[in-house]
Structures are given as structure tokens and as C-alpha cells.
Chain A
Amino acid sequence: MTALLNHGPLMAIILDGENLRYPSTYGLPSYLLLSAVLFAIGFFGVLLRKNTLVIYMCLELMLLASTLALVAFSRFNGTLDGSVFVFFILTIAAAEVAVGLAIIVALFRRRHTIQVEELNHLKH
């Protein structure tokens, strides 16, 4: 995969840093700032929120913030493999959600709650 990208003359034409066919209105720093803000919202959401589903959404937000930064870097650096990595991340996120929601549903059936402060039966 990467070898294809390393030698691909095609993307050098399409994504050459100087010859962007549709130049972006916003620069790289704007995208990175947005991505960092989204990441921070997700991170503090995981730490502070009490509902498992909201925590799970915050985790997905963190993955998407990384994806946004990745796409921005990929476009402004003129290398395509960052955009390809996005597909891997999306696939992984989908698998993670499938497993995660299954665990949350199974837990809800046993405990009838998904609030983290009530899920503290494991202790020494």
C-alpha cells in the first residue's frame, strides 16, 4: 500500500502543495486548532461525564479529532498516505463501537444502569 503511495506520480500532481486545484480558505493552523479543541472536549468529556453512552461518544469524538488533523496534514503536506490511514481509523472505530455497545447493552441488562458512579462493585 505505502509503496504504491511512495512512488505514485498521480498524487504528486493532484496534491502538490503549491498546485492545489481548490486552494483552501483556511490555513493548516485553523484546522489543527479545531482538531485540538475537539480532542480536548472529548478528553475532558471522558473524564468528567457520568453516563457511559456520553463517555463513549466522547471517545469517538477524540478519534474524529485525530482524523481531522490527519486529513489536514495530509492535504497541506501533499502526502496522500494520511488520507488512506483515515479509512483504517474509521474501520477500527466501527469495530470498537460494535464491541463497546454490545458490552454496554449486556451490562445494562444485568445492572439496569449505565451511570458510572453506580458501576463500582469491583473493589478489594
Chain B
Amino acid sequence: MSTELLKVVADSNQWWALAPEIMVACAALGLLVLEIFTPKEHHRFIPHVAVVVLAMVLVTVALNFDKTWGGEELFGSLIKLSASGQIARVFFLLSSLLVCFLATICLPRTRMPRVEFYHIVLVVTAALMLLAQSNHFVMFFVALETVTIGFYILVSYFRDNALTLEAGLKYLVLGALSSALMLFGIVLIYGAVGRVVIEGVVHTGFEYGIVADFLRHNPDNFLAVAGALLVLGGVAFKIGAFPFQIWIPDVYQGAPTPVTAFLAVSSKAAGFAVLLTLVLNVFSPLAYVVVPVLSVLAAATIIVGNLSALSQRNAKRLMGLSGVSHAGYLLIGVIAALSVPAAANAVWFYLFTYLLASMAVFGVMAHVAGADDTAQELDHYEKLARQRPLLGTVLAVGLGSLAGIPPLAGFMGKLLLFVAAFQAGLYWLLAVAIGGVVLSIYYYFGWIKAAWFETWSPSPATAQAPARSVAATTFVGRAVLTALALATVLLGFYQEPLTSWLMP
């Protein structure tokens, strides 16, 4: 082994580029150390450390945002620095910050250990950030599994609740199944690409660039096409697209509310970040199979998600199934991005509006939830607006934005996405999506109605039930919820700050 080789390796390992991930991961370990070395009465301050670190890293990443970063491959092309990777970093940090905020509301209600929860959230955050920037199938798989195994623990975190454990088991079995399918796909791609060994050049069939190169020359290689479809199937599980959406309602219902929010926002966004990279960069020569498959998936996802959400009375299942339909709209954006480059930015804009609106709704849900986190029925929202005007307003703004009501941010997100789909000529998908949006207004407004308007003949069960106590809001809680609602309203009128930052 020559010194020259070691020099090449050392030059490509630029650790500064991964400073945010390293800081988050070190903070995760730091929390555990803090728990050991501080007296027990100070342990309730440890979650604040997690929040402060996430906020600091978020501000650092946002201030150092540099659009000119493009295509620099580091660590022997394991990682690729790009503008969309930085957008993903900001997204995941913001989302984890809000998940930690939700956890500070929900966790004190149970007797479960607290510090470990924040520890795992931070580890998952670091892995999510790496996942969005991966440029190599080994990196991709390891980061994805770190995220998934972290989520297994988080979903079954309230282990004194049998329903939560059942949700954890379902997520475990289906998640491991999708990971195994994806791994087999990666192996097939590796096998297909590695077979063309040019004299003197050793190929590695894991690098995105080399795989894309191979596919450009052999777009009809059977092994590679089968592998690509298996990998996309694994990603479809993450985003909850049609045949893989079966886990969503059960797992969302059983998981603790902060974890449901984490799954709904970060896990879904990670799936789309990966899907955009794979479809646009790696599998673009396979568009002749990928586009029809994704189109059918998108249409089926929108229809199934909206129809099954219509009859839901459990708030968490409703969020899950309506989230399935949002995944369908976003899939249309991914398909459109193959012919209209602006569609990729529309997908990110939509994800940001979805983050703000969902977190607002989950914030209200965290306050309304009682001792049993899995039983959150729409009936529990009765008289919410009269008792707690702030929570009622935030709920209405969040749900209105998710439904896509005109002055709110969700409407602009849908508009940008649908305009991109129109430019790409996806007319029949557009028709399905607009039908889905109309259907979604029904169930979102059913929820708003439950919170804002008196039901004139309550069923005997709810009439006899004692009034539920909604958790008191702290000053920080009120501030965060108000900020989320305000951001949702302002983004509806004035998109310039976000769009100028997202658009290249």
C-alpha cells in the first residue's frame, strides 16, 4: 500500500463537512453522560440540553447555508454535499426540535425514563441528515437502518402500554421486511454493475454515479431493473405509499404522540429526500419503468389514503391516513421533477408547509391526549375551542393548511406542486389529486367541527363521560404553537423567504 493512496483517502475525508451531524451525535452521547454525572433532582433539565443543542446546530446550519455547494463528493464518495442536502439538514433539525418540544409535554405523564428518548431522537436526527446526503448504497443502507432501528425503539417506547408494544411489533416486522427487500435490491444492483470490469479499473457497484453510468448504457439490464424496483419498494414503505401503507394507521395510533409526529414528518421527508435523489440522479435512465410504476402508486395512494381516512374517528389514525394521501401528492411532484426541475423545489416547499401544519396539529394533540396516549378520539375535542381558544385556533389553522384552504401555506404548497405537475403534463394524476383534496376537506373539517361547534345530540357515551382535562399550556408551549400557526398563515400570503431560499 503506497503513501500516495493513503494521501488520496485522507484528502477525501473532510470532517468539517459533517460537523452538524457530528455535533448532534456527540450531544446524544453527552446526554447519557450528563445523566450519570448529575444528581437526580437535576435530571429534568437534561431535555433542555437536547433542545438547546438542536437549536444551536439548526441556527449554525441555516446561517452557513451556501447554495454554491454542488456535487462535491467526500469520504471516497460516500457523501455528496449539495444544496438539497443542506435543505434536508435544516428540515430534519427543525422537525426534531419540535419533536423534542412535544416530548417535553407528553413524557412527564408516564413513568418511562426520559433522557434515553432524547438520546435516540438525536441519534436518529444525525442519521437522517446523513441519509439525505448519502451518495453510496452502503452509506444509504447503514444510515437508513440506523433511522429505522431508532424508530423501532421510539415507537414502542411506552412499554407499559400493550397497544404501544403491539404497534412496535408491527412496525418492527414490516420495517424489517421492507429493509430486507431493499437490501436484496441493492445486492442485485451491485451484482449487475460490478459485472462490467474494465481492465485496470476496479468498479464499485455501490456508488450512485457509477450505477447511474451503468444504467445509462444498459437501461434494460434485468438484474438492475429488478434491483431498482426493490429499492424503490423499500422507500415506498418509508413514505407510506399504497401497497405499503398497511402499517400506518396501527403504528401511528400505538406510538407515543411525539413519535407519531416524528414518523409523520421526518420519516416521510427522509423517504422523499432519498426518492428525489434516486429517481432524478441514479435511476433516471430507467424512467421508462419507474415513471409508470410511480404514477400508479401515486394515484392509488391518494385514493386509498383519502377513502380510508373518511370514516376514522381516532385522531392519530386520521393523521396517519391523511398523511398517506399527502405522500401521494408528493409522489406526483417527484414524477414531475423528471421533466420539470422546479418540481423538486415544490416538493421541498410542500414538505416545509406540511411540517409546520402537522406539528401545529400534533402540538394540540399532545395537550389534549389523556393518560392513555393511544386513545385520542375526535369526540375528545368537543368544546376545545370554547375552553382553550388558543389550542382551538392553532388546530383550525393546522388542519386548514393540511386541507389546503386558500389563505394558508398548505394551499400554496399544493398550488406549486400541481402547477409543476401541469407543466409536466400529468393531467390524469392531477385530476385524481384534485379529487383527493376535495375529499380531504370533508374529514379535516369534521375534526375542526368537533373542536369548534357544539354537537346538538351527543351520544349517550360521551354525554356521561366526565369532561376531559386538557393539559395546561406553558409559556413556551403557547409561544411555539402560536409561532407555528403564524408561520403557516404568513407563508400563505408571502412565500418569498422560503422560496428564495429553496430555489437555486
A-B contact count (CB 8 A): 167
Contact with A along B311-337 (1 / 0, CB 8 A): 111100100000000000000000000
Chain B: CB-nearest residue to A89: B183
Contacts of B188 in A (CB 8 A): 69
Q: How far does the Cβ of A6 sit from chain B's closest Cβ, in whole Å?
A: 6
A21 within 8 A of B: no
Contacts of A46 in B (CB 8 A): 173, 177
Kindly state the separation between the CA atoms of A46 and B203 in the bound complex, as whole angstroms. 35
B258 within 8 A of A: no
Contact across chains for A107 and B165 when beta carbons are under 8 A apart: yes
Which residues of A39-79 have CB atoms within 8 Å of chain B's CB atoms? 39, 42-43, 46, 52, 55-56, 59, 62-63, 65-66, 69-70, 73-74, 77-79
Kindly state the separation between the CA atoms of A14 and B103 in the bound complex, as whole angstroms. 53
Contact across chains for A73 and B204 when beta carbons are under 8 A apart: no
Contact with A along B283-315 (1 / 0, CB 8 A): 000000000000000000000000000011110
B180 interface neighbour in A63, A85, A100, Cβ under 8 Å: A63
A124 interface neighbour in B75, B76, B156, B313, Cβ under 8 Å: B313
Q: How far does the Cβ of A4 sit from chain B's closest Cβ, in whole Å?
A: 6
A30 within 8 A of B: no
Contact across chains for B156 and A103 when beta carbons are under 8 A apart: yes
B173 interface neighbour in A1, A59, A70, Cβ under 8 Å: A59
Contact across chains for B138 and A85 when beta carbons are under 8 A apart: yes
- Given A70-B187, A122-B170, 14 other A-B residues pairs in contact with their CB atoms under 8 A: A1-B76, A3-B12, A4-B5, A6-B202, A11-B202, A43-B177, A77-B197, A81-B204, A81-B206, A82-B194, A82-B205, A96-B145, A107-B162, A122-B167
Binding site for B on A (CB under 8 A): 1-8, 10-12, 17, 32, 39, 42-43, 46, 52, 55-56, 59, 62-63, 65-66, 69-70, 73-74, 77-79, 81-82, 84-85, 88-89, 92, 95-96, 99-100, 103-104, 106-107, 110-111, 119, 121-124
**List of 5 A-B pairs having minimum Cβ-Cβ separation, nearest first:** A3-B76, A62-B180, A77-B194, A73-B191, A2-B76
Some 29 contacts from A to B, beta carbons below 8 A apart, are A1-B78, A2-B138, A2-B204, A3-B9, A3-B12, A6-B202, A6-B204, A7-B8, A43-B177, A46-B173, A52-B169, A62-B177, A66-B180, A66-B183, A66-B186, A69-B184, A73-B205, A74-B194, A77-B191, A79-B204, A88-B138, A92-B141, A107-B166, A111-B162, A119-B166, A119-B169, A122-B170, A122-B249, A122-B253
